[in-house]
Amino acid sequence: MGAPVLETINLTKYYNQNRGIENINLKFFKNNVHALIGENGAGKSTLIKILTGLILPNDGKILWNGKEIGLQRPQDALKKGIAAVQQELTLVDTMSIAQNIYLGHAPKGKLGMINSRKMEEQAAELLDELDLKLPLRKLVGELELADKQLVEIAKVLSYNPELIILDEATSTIGSKEVDRLYEVVQKLKNRGKSIVFVSHRMVELFKFCDSCTIFKDGLQVKDAKMSELDTDQIISAMAGCSVECSFPSKYESLENDVKRKLGKEILEVKDLSTEGGLEQISLYAKSGEILGLGGLQGHGQVELLQTLFGIGKITGGHISISGKKVRIRNPIDAMDAGIKLVPLDRKTQGLFVELSVGENIIPCALDIISKAGVISKEKQENTISDLVGKLSIRVASAVQTVKYLSGGNQQKIALGKWLLKPSKVLLLIEPTRGIDVRTKTEIYNLLRELANSGYAIIVSSNEILELIGLCDRVLVLFERKISCELSGEELTEDNILNASFGRKVI
């Protein structure tokens, strides 16, 4: 193998209190394709952002061909010979394909002007190697996403880098293009390049890669040659215990007479298809039940819940509440039907961050606190303090601006505001993202309380332990379809992970 091209020593990055990565020691070699494997949030993206100069580590060293280097800005990484194809494309839609490929390093001609003809010649050569036929003068903005991703790959290759990082570069391209990419990767590998490959698709990992490192919760869990591992071993290394959370007891453990009052089917979704790509999704949710949506990020969970709340166009199928079909074209229809959503990004979608706690709560309770269009100050204050107390939101006063609250308190308000009026179905998208352990537990208890009082609750989550601990049933989504339904004894980490990769569950 020889000496490594790039080596990281004890690389560490913290985001405030949260661990991004800690003590990562990696070696990347020439003529080698190395995989980075791990769940979302395991630390792969953080590592890659550090290696490409987008963020700075808190601790640790990076050695390039044995010498210590600093990567302060993207230019530093590119100059050294490190280039990455990220999932977030770095193309400029208003410029042509050729211009994008050579952006920042186009061949110059007389008087310092860019030599367009030479640039287009070189771009044509590069695209030839990728076996791509695209009109060089076409604006990138006019391309489909899959073609854009291929232009991004060409752009990275135009730097002739020594270390090439492909961060989920195959996520939007079809199998024919993946095969093409495989040929290119082989060529590069044989030319002495070092390649870092990130993907969630097991087939690709085994096909493209020679060695791998498995991440979990920001830590380096395992280093091995791909030939030494099989899928089961990889999956079990990815999973495992994180921080301890305590979960309230589930539906099964309720008293029988309580169970009798609950258990009726409240939400039924049949053959739902959407403009965004969901196809023939069918599910149901019962009152008293917490239903989980699992699977890898981006496989339709967010879209499904948003569609149930009226965001996104429905092209087929129907939704029923308590046996009656309902038409949900927008959030108002959803709210009228008794469906409420706690969205993915509380800061931009769930709250008015510049306003106070009270001002965030009131809009959902206007008819309770007003008469003939005039808000009663007394009722307003009572409503606010009741809710704040019930949710044990730690605020100095209700006039405090939401922006300054902790993530946990913010989320409680994003959730709590819906509780002022009775509803039937509560949808939550990754509700405990970025929230401390204590508040997480409080939210879990609250959700269970709401379920016990008659709500049907659907929660989507990336954290497998959360799904197992909180939910009565879990639906795992894979490529926009329901891969399987797990409950009772089948509700295990391994089963969820396997289903997340589309594999059959025993």
Q: By the criterion CB under 8 A, which residues form the site for another protein?
A: 54, 73-75, 78, 86, 89-95, 99, 103-104, 106, 108, 111-114, 116, 139, 141-142, 155
Which residue, 111 or 374, has its beta carbon nearer to another protein? 111
> Could you give the angle at the alpha carbon of 267 between the alpha carbons of 262 and 269, nearest 5°?
150
3 state SS of 60: strand
373's CB contacts (< 8 A; 6+ apart) are none
105-117 b/e (C-beta count within 10 Å ≥ 16 → b): ebeeeeeeeeebe
In the block, residue with structure tokens 């560490």: 12
Which residue, 70 or 104, has its beta carbon nearer to another protein? 104
Which residue, 76 or 265, has its beta carbon nearer to another protein? 76
Closest CA to 463 of 243, 302, 236, 288: 243
Task: Give least dist CB 103 to another protein, A.
Answer: 5
Which residue, 81 or 295, has its beta carbon nearer to another protein? 81
Task: Give least dist CB 64 to another protein, A.
Answer: 17
Closest CA to 204 of 177, 233, 236, 239: 177
Task: Give least dist CB 141 to another protein, A.
Answer: 3
Task: Give least dist CB 189 to another protein, A.
Answer: 25
Q: Per DSSP, which regions of 330-424 are E strands?
A: 339-342, 370-371, 374-375
> Could you give the angle at the alpha carbon of 455 between the alpha carbons of 452 and 457, nearest 5°?
105
Task: Give least dist CB 62 to another protein, A.
Answer: 18
Task: Give least dist CB 127 to another protein, A.
Answer: 18
293's CB contacts (< 8 A; 6+ apart) are 301, 304, 305, 458, 459, 460, 461, 474, 475, 476, 477
Which residue, 94 or 282, has its beta carbon nearer to another protein? 94
Which residue, 89 or 184, has its beta carbon nearer to another protein? 89
425-445 b/e (C-beta count within 10 Å ≥ 16 → b): bbbbbbbbbbbeeebbbbbbe
Task: Give least dist CB 154 to another protein, A.
Answer: 13
Which residue, 36 or 78, has its beta carbon nearer to another protein? 78
